Amino acid sequence: MVILMAGVPGNLLTILAYFKNEQLRNPTNILICSQSIGDLFTCLTGPLFVTLNYTEAGLELIQSGKYLCLVSLALLFIALQSSIVNILALSTERFIAVYFSLNYYNWVTEMSVKRAVVAIWSVVITINCLPMLGWEEWRPEVHCMSNKVYPQAFFQGFFIIPSLICLFICTLENFAIAVTAIRRQRSLGVVAVTENVEQQSDEANIKSRNQFKVTKMLLLVVGCFYTTWLPWIIFNSLLFGMPSPWKVKGVPSSVLIASEYSKALLVSNAIVNPFIYGWKNLHFRDAYYKLLGIRRNRVEPSP
């Protein structure tokens, strides 16, 4: 609960920063804003799920309320799945910026990105409302957990497998981006030694350097996402595709305990992203200071 509530201010600040500052209105930041909305949604719906499943009063209520259970799960999984798909969208946008730079400004426009965001949320909401239309295995007195309430075909076919596919594509894209970023970093060092500074200051090179900084920032965001999400996905896959000895003897307590801790690690991802944006992006940092009413006595260089 503490982790979830700690994520609310930072993500709310990021969303307000985007809407209140015209400097932040670009395709990349639309996706960042969408990701922050998903993280904020996780922070706001998570406490309902925690209260209903981890308190005595909540358990009594939810184990007799079918639709209360289904709605709480749907809200949580909409938030979680939107985060995965938004990370894929951010990775794809950066992949296009790095490998199709000549076509980037034609393909990635504010309108095309807004349409993509609407499509992402529409598909995610539709998929996660299916259990409320009858595709579920809820029974009274059963814990309201995904592996108890959702059919295996639904959870694996519409959540785990699509999530793993998204993460696999992200891995390929970000590996390719990281390789190029390393080469770019080395080439910048060589250029700084061999060429005159004035030759570097034309508009094309400025745009290229700015794109490179954004790419490094989003690589860090994606890295944190992998670190916090993979344990939870692995444990849920194990609990659904239960090994034969576990079916006979029950799930080892150490696995159950580790699975519970993976949930806390998962939601901690909602806290870190605003700090990364403020640390690595000068425009977001300025917007945060402005919203918080903090005066700055000096101009900070762009990271």
pLDDT of 155 over the 50 cut = yes
pLDDT of 243 over the 80 cut = no
Helices (H), 65-160: 66-99, 101-107, 110-128, 146-149, 152-155
Mean pLDDT of 146-174: 87
Q: How many CB atoms lie within 10 A of CB 72?
A: 22
Give the range with max mean pLDDT: 67-76, 182-191, 194-203, 211-220: 67-76
For the 2-292 domain, the top CATH level (class) is mainly alpha
pLDDT of 157 over the 80 cut = yes
7: buried, middle or exposed (CB in 10 Å: 19+, 13-18, 0-12)? buried
**Closest by CA position to 43, among listed 18, 68, 11:** 11
**Closest by CA position to 266, among listed 112, 43, 51, 66:** 43
Give the predicted TM-score (pTM) of the model: 0.83
| Residues 170 and 224: beta-carbon distance below 8 Å | no
Q: How many CB atoms lie within 10 A of CB 74?
A: 19
Give per-residue pLDDT as tens, 28-51: 999 999 999 999 999 998 898 899
Give per-residue pLDDT as tens, 92-121: 998 998 889 889 989 999 999 999 999 999
pLDDT of 194 over the 50 cut = no
pLDDT of 297 over the 80 cut = no
Domain extents for the chain?
2-292
How remote is the C-alpha of 143 from its chain's centroid? 27
% of the chain with per-residue pLDDT over 90? 30
Local confidence band at 205 (pLDDT 50, 70, 90 cut-offs): low
Q: What is the pLDDT of residue 185?
A: 66
